[in-house]
Amino acid sequence: MVVADDFLFQGLNKAGNTSNQLGSFVTPVNVNQLEGLNTLGVSMARLDFAPYGINPPHTHPRATEAFLLVEGTLYVGFVTSNPADPAQKNKLFTKYLYPGDVFVFPQGLIHFQFNVGKTNAVAFASFGSQNPGTITVANAVFGSDPKINPDVLAKAFQVEKNIIDYLQAQFWSNYN
């Protein structure tokens, strides 16, 4: 039976713990935390950043993200999908955000947020899906289980295999 609590999430007023390798923490509010979002096509998150903390390059395969900065200064950006003309390069779109600024990250495109300030930063994101999904690029490529064959990655990144071996040996965190 559906009850009022299925439509309530409490806690976005509380800062996340940014004492980790990335210096950031994401508090998601999607259908996994708030059942009342099921089928509604929306969700949100609170993002906390320590000074120089990062939400590393990632993508949301099922949602566009509208990102509102409420405290601090962030450098944000996204990279376009592969251009139709192979002679062209993917384009990077970036901005510095200040409190009250909103930046939109199109669905499925790789994007990031980096705190360039000497103080903490706080932002809220809204998504056009009750389950936007997150794929953190470095974790997916270098930290998968089982590991992607290093020969495949060495060829793809056009680097020596020992570089891939080194990257795959690192601890890839899933804080965000």
Q: How far apart are CA 27 and CA 11, in angstroms?
A: 9
Instruction: State yes or no: 90 annotated in a binding site.
Output: no
Please tell me whether 176 is known to bind a ligand: no
Ligand-binding annotation for 149, yes or no, is no
Sign of CA dihedral 30, 32, 34, 37: positive
What whole-number distance in Å separates Cα of residue 163 and Cα of residue 80? 26
Annotated binding residue 160: no
H or E element in which residue 150 lies: helix 150-157
Q: Is 58 annotated as a binding residue?
A: yes
Helix (H, G, I), strand (E, B) or coil at 17: coil
Number of residues in the chain: 176
Binding residues: 55, 58, 60, 65, 111
Binding residues for Mn(2+): 58, 60, 65, 111
